[in-house]
Amino acid sequence: MTDVFRKDLFNGKVLFATGGRTGIGYKLVEQMMAHGANATILGRDAKGLAESAANLEKATGSKCLAAAADVRKPAELKAAVDATIAKFGRIDFVVCGAAGNFLAPIGGLSENAFRTVLEIDTLGTYNTLKATLPYVRETKGAYLHISATLHYKGVPFQAHVSAAKAGVDALSQVIAVEEGPRGVRSNVVAPGPIGNTEGMSRLGTPGYDARAAIPLGAMGETQDVANAAIFLFSPAASWVTGQTFVVDGGQQHMRGSG
């Protein structure tokens, strides 16, 4: 927990987050709630989601709604948005964080595997935008997309995720430009390697030496990404939109880094 930001920063605000059950998404939601927001978390695992929501409420004292839904299914997303409005009355902030991931060489990647990740990451983001936008316009709120840095270069075994995240980045920019005149902002946070996450356990290379690969000498923590999110949702970033905020300890600038 950081004590850099005011504890009442998001009092009265409501966050709608896809992918908030574990890892980066969970910590991000926890930190938004610790700063006063109530939240909905959304994912496919109803039981795990309910446990996470209970833990989030216990840890923060704010309210959390668990909405079991698949971001690939617009009707389920609409039901989750309707439940959020019924419970909290508004949506100020949206985190598009639901993502699928695994390592696979392009030659071994089936059409269905490629499509599955694009449908979760990119189409899922589109579906989330469509379901929430009317409410985010009302509050002149903000979007934050959890992307990655791997698609800035060619990273082996990540064709599906690279294509999907490039699409997410593009969607965020278009939302920033189209919706800016209505007072809606949209930004991307792009984490580098973050320790103790499902993504890292799926993608991590055995023997990866963070001290050699990352200028700041260590893998990131989920709190590092949450800190960036708090800033980007806060009024301190009210003139920041269409940006990608890279949180990677400088990894992307390291010669020979992946």
The residues annotated as belonging to the active site are 147, 165
Q: Buried (b) or exposed (e) across 154-163, using 16+ Cβ within 10 A? A: ebebbbbbbe
Residue 83 in the binding site for ligand HXC (CB under 6 A):
no
Binds ligand HXC by CB under 6 A, chosen from 40, 52, 84, 101? 101
Q: Which of these, 228, 5, 18, 14, lies nearest to 138 by C-alpha position? A: 14
Q: Which two tokens stand for residue 154?
A: 């060619």
Q: How far is CA 18 from the centre of its chain?
A: 7
Q: How many residues bind ligand HXC (CB under 6 A)?
A: 18
Q: Please, is 145 exposed, middle or buried when counting C-beta atoms within 10 Å of its C-beta (0-12, 13-18, 19+)?
A: buried
Q: Is 113 in the site for ligand HXC (CB under 6 A)?
A: yes
**Count of beta carbons in the 10 Å neighbourhood of residue 175:** 23
Q: Which of 40/251 has CB closer to ligand HXC?
A: 251
Q: Which is nearer to ligand HXC, 148 or 214 (CB)?
A: 148
Decide whether 99 or 184 has the Cβ nearer to ligand HXC: 99
Alpha-carbon distances of 41 from 116, 127, 187, rounded to whole Å: 21, 15, 19
Question: Does 127 participate in binding ligand HXC (rule CB under 6 A)?
Answer: no
Binding string to ligand HXC for residues 17 to 46, with x set by CB under 6 A, is what? ------------------------------
Indicate the residue whose CB is closest to ligand HXC: 199
E runs forming strands in 171-243: 185-191
Please list every residue from 140 through 169 that binds ligand HXC, using CB under 6 A.
148, 150, 161
Q: In the complex, which residues of this chain contact ligand HXC (CB under 6 A)? A: 99-102, 104, 110, 112-113, 116-117, 120, 148, 150, 161, 198-199, 202-203
